[in-house]
Amino acid sequence: MSNAAIQPAPAVALPAGVSATAAKPIVLTGAQPSGKLHLGNYLGAVVNWDKMQGANECFYFIADQHAITVPKVPAELRKNIYSCLAQYLACGLDPQRSHIFAQSHVVGHTELAWVLGCSCPLGWLERMTQFKDKSRKQESVGAGLLYYPILMAADILLYNAHFVPVGEDQKQHLEITRDIAEKFNRDYSPTFNVPEPFIGETGARIMSLQNPETKMSKSDPNQNGVVFLIDPPDVVRKKIQSAVTDSGGEVRAAADKPGITNLLSIFSAVTGQSVADLENEFAGKGYGDFKRAVADAVIARLEPVRLRYEEFSKDTAYLDSVLKSGAEAAQRVAYKTLSKVYRKVGFVERPR
Bridge partners of residue 197, in order along the sequence: 164
Tell me whether residue 147 or residue 314 sits nearer to ligand TYM (CB atom).
Answer: 147
Residues 56, 83, 170, 245: which binds ligand TYM (CB under 6 A)?
Answer: 170
* Alpha-carbon separation of residue 172 from 130, 154, 177, 235 (angstroms): 9, 15, 9, 33
Task: Decide: is 41 part of the binding site for ligand TYM (CB under 6 A).
Answer: yes
Contacts of 174 (CB under 8 A, 6+ apart): 164, 166, 195, 197
Nearest approach, Cβ of residue 348 and ligand TYM (Å): 30
Asked if 61 and 95 count as a contact pair (C-beta separation under 8 A), the reply is: no
Q: Which one-letter amino acid corresponds to residue 341?
A: V
Instruction: Reduce the DSSP state of residue 237 to 3 states and report it.
Output: helix
* # chain residues binding ligand TYM, by CB under 6 A: 24
Tell me whether residue 155 or residue 196 sits nearer to ligand TYM (CB atom).
Answer: 155
Tell me whether residue 17 or residue 40 sits nearer to ligand TYM (CB atom).
Answer: 40
Task: Decide: is 265 part of the binding site for ligand TYM (CB under 6 A).
Answer: no
Residues 63, 116, 229, 322: which binds ligand TYM (CB under 6 A)?
Answer: 63
Helices (H) and strands (E) in the chain, counts: 14, 5
* Alpha-carbon separation of residue 161 from 112, 178, 184, 195 (angstroms): 15, 11, 15, 6
Binding mask 139-158 for ligand TYM (x = CB under 6 A): -------------x--xx--
Nearest approach, Cβ of residue 281 and ligand TYM (Å): 24
Task: Decide: is 85 part of the binding site for ligand TYM (CB under 6 A).
Answer: no
Nearest approach, Cβ of residue 133 and ligand TYM (Å): 12
Residues 12, 32, 99, 198: which binds ligand TYM (CB under 6 A)?
Answer: 32
Task: Decide: is 45 part of the binding site for ligand TYM (CB under 6 A).
Answer: yes
Residue 239 backbone dihedrals phi, psi, to 5 degrees: -65, -40
Using CA atoms, how far apart are residues 205 and 169, in angstroms rounded to an integer? 7
Contacts of 326 (CB under 8 A, 6+ apart): 61, 95, 98, 99, 100, 101, 102, 105
Nearest approach, Cβ of residue 346 and ligand TYM (Å): 27
Binding mask 279-318 for ligand TYM (x = CB under 6 A): ----------------------------------------
Asked if 329 and 96 count as a contact pair (C-beta separation under 8 A), the reply is: no
Task: Decide: is 80 part of the binding site for ligand TYM (CB under 6 A).
Answer: no
First to last CA, the chain: 45
Nearest approach, Cβ of residue 167 and ligand TYM (Å): 2
The catalytic residues are: 134, 215, 218
For residue 58, give the H/E element and its range.
strand 57-62
Name the residue among 331, 304, 271, 328 with its Cα closest to residue 87. 304
Residues 6, 166, 230, 338: which binds ligand TYM (CB under 6 A)?
Answer: 166
Q: Segment near ligand TYM (CB under 6 A), from 17-25, 113-121, 159-167, 339-347?
A: 159-167
Asked if 135 and 145 count as a contact pair (C-beta separation under 8 A), the reply is: yes
Nearest approach, Cβ of residue 74 and ligand TYM (Å): 19
Which spans of this chain sit near ligand TYM (rule: CB under 6 A)?
A: 29-32, 40-41, 44-45, 63, 66, 152, 155-156, 164, 166-167, 169-170, 173, 204-206, 215-216
